Structure 1
Amino acid sequence: MDNIAGKKSGLVWAVHLSTLLLVALWVLPTFGLLVSSFRTGDQISSSGWWRSLMTQESQLPAIRLAGDEVQKDGAYVIEGQLFDGAGAEISRWGTSSKEPEAYGADETATLNDGVTLTVTAAGSFALKSAASMADMRMPRVFVTAATPPEFTTNNYSLVLFSPLAGQTIGQAFLNTLTVSIPATIIPILIAAFAAYALAWMEFPGRALLVAIVVGLLVVPLQLALIPLLQLHNMMGIGKSYLGIWMAHTGFGLPLAIYLLRNYMAGLPRDIIENARVDGATDFQIFVKIILPLSFPALASFAIFQFLWTWNDLLVALVFLGTGNDQQVLTGNLVNLMGSRGGDWEILSASAFISIAIPLVVFFAMQKYLVRGLLAGSVK
């Protein structure tokens, strides 16, 4: 009785837990990247994104005192604010990197030549001396403070509109769109015609062509990069958008033809034969019957091809170049990693911009992806 049809398996809970784990492994890092992209660099370096909504106590970078000297009660005084408070509260402070927490808030420290320094919990300071401090080198203050959560959109403004590594991310974003959209549409159009011919048209050598397409699936694209670039240079389309469109089309066609041909071959034969009896040509059958019925498979490949071309770096470097007017997002991010590797807020904002469009495309078309992948598995 354990194998009765319709009875749930005892391992269904394991399937659910595994699915939940896989979703968490994918969603949590993405959400963390989004949160980090709105935080300041100091907060990113001092705590994890999961603490972004909590008040954090951390040691801030050393602050050099500055201000105008005035005379007050027979002494020379320099007063000011260490930072824009924004709710920050100092707990400990010091004037030496060896003892950054030597004093508590509102305590007074005695420096050289009788100079005294008082730092309050709110971040204000008062430097006093019996003699003028005009020629004195102003001391540094090391502060340990509790800072409230702070979020900003300046990271995105800097990334999109300010030159970083010689180019704005906004320009690289447009370059990537210019590469990805045609490189997705062109192979779909060509592969759809080829798949219909291999699935429903009788001609000599059809089986051989199908075998060649399957064989091309296992050929590494790296083997064809240099010969194809030489061919493009001979044709005069090297290092151009047309060249990279053709390269992505050539690399994507085997998979596209294979997926679409298998899907189209599984469509009901009666529909095709009835259309031919009614006098429809192959082109009319393809446009009016095959394409509408094949939309899930077309959408599935479109997702794969768009994600591949959007995230590509190797083909873009070979066939497009590294100029500021042609560099894609992945290439720009590589440059940022080299030139601004310590600016985590810049890198996180740039990385999230680079994955935003693929996320939108994936979630908008995921139902077609599932239908296309399962097509033909059930009759």
Structure 2
Amino acid sequence: MTLFSGAETPFSTLQRGVVDSAHDEAQVTFRDSGSVVRLQGVSRRFGQTRALHAISLTVQKGEILGLIGRSGAGKSTLIRCLNGLEQPDEGVIEIEGRNITGLSEKQLQTVRSRVGMVFQHFNLLSAKTVAQNVALPLKIAGMDKAQRQQRVTELLDLVGLADKAQSYPAALSGGQKQRVGIARALAASPALLLCDEATSALDPETTRSILALLKSLNQKLGITILLITHEMEVIKSVAHRVAVINAGEIIEQGPVWQVFAHQQSDLTRMLLRGLLPQLPENLAARISDQKQGDAIYSVHFAGDDAQGDLLTRFAAALPGKFRLLQGGVDHIQHYAVVRFFIALPAANAADEQQILSWLHAQQAHVELVGYVASHD
């Protein structure tokens, strides 16, 4: 994120970030058509507690979908429904086009072989070596020893742990343990990888390396990933699309760059608060809904609308009619996402209308934050 603040900040600082945005990889292209996961009207209750309510969600083949929400939002229940550990009270769950609702435990075994799980706390067997941990699901599936050894070698090389095959979990770092967990989850060549808070127990640097690994696996193998998290930074780093869940309901979803640019819910705004430019605290504390002093507006541009010399033209078209307070540029999925705050003298209605009309004509999303009394 490129940040700037203060009225004296030149638009060129922001402009450079916008001009550098690329378009050649803007659209996510999946390797196959169709979906790996489809939920339609899924609800689950525990007594009087509603854990999931009318969830409808699709995860396309080759896609990384981030599901984000606070603790208790329903994320864990949703995962348990996807791997058959919970049965919904209502609705349909399909994995690779097969309806798994109502299947017997024996029938679910076939479905689970197509779904790999990566856990927050690794869940490795401490008495077994790295190679043995990765080989375990293959052994249970009945693969012969020579094939298991070959597959384990391939997987450990894929996750960057070829030299740790004979090590035990106690000798590994947290990031290495999670890489073992990922290799184990990939052992049976699943169509879907469920990552349940897979990075929340890791430090920031290790988190970045694990997310880079997941992104690489998605690109190399074409594997579909459903990433469950409470951290929007994780979603931003690796996901193609994001769905926001709250109190058991999906309240917002879309391509990550679009959700970052135009949040539709208060929860999403809260989750993004640390990643997007905000008004300085001393200024935000003075915001009032009383129409006096300066009107404070937040302005968003994204995608094609944030390209070229738009911001330079804004400054040139309306010189001296506004003050730039704070803002920044980010690049998400090769799209520019721009947010800044401006102050307009509330007393000058003609200038205010001219500025707002110009911004709307450029497809900007403009929102009145409030008013701040001018300093003498």
TM-score of the pair, normalised by structure 2: 0.21
Q: Pick the structure with greater CA Rg.
A: 1
- The structure whose residues are more often strand, as a share, is 2
TM-score of the pair, normalised by structure 1: 0.21
- The structure whose residues are more often helix, as a share, is 1
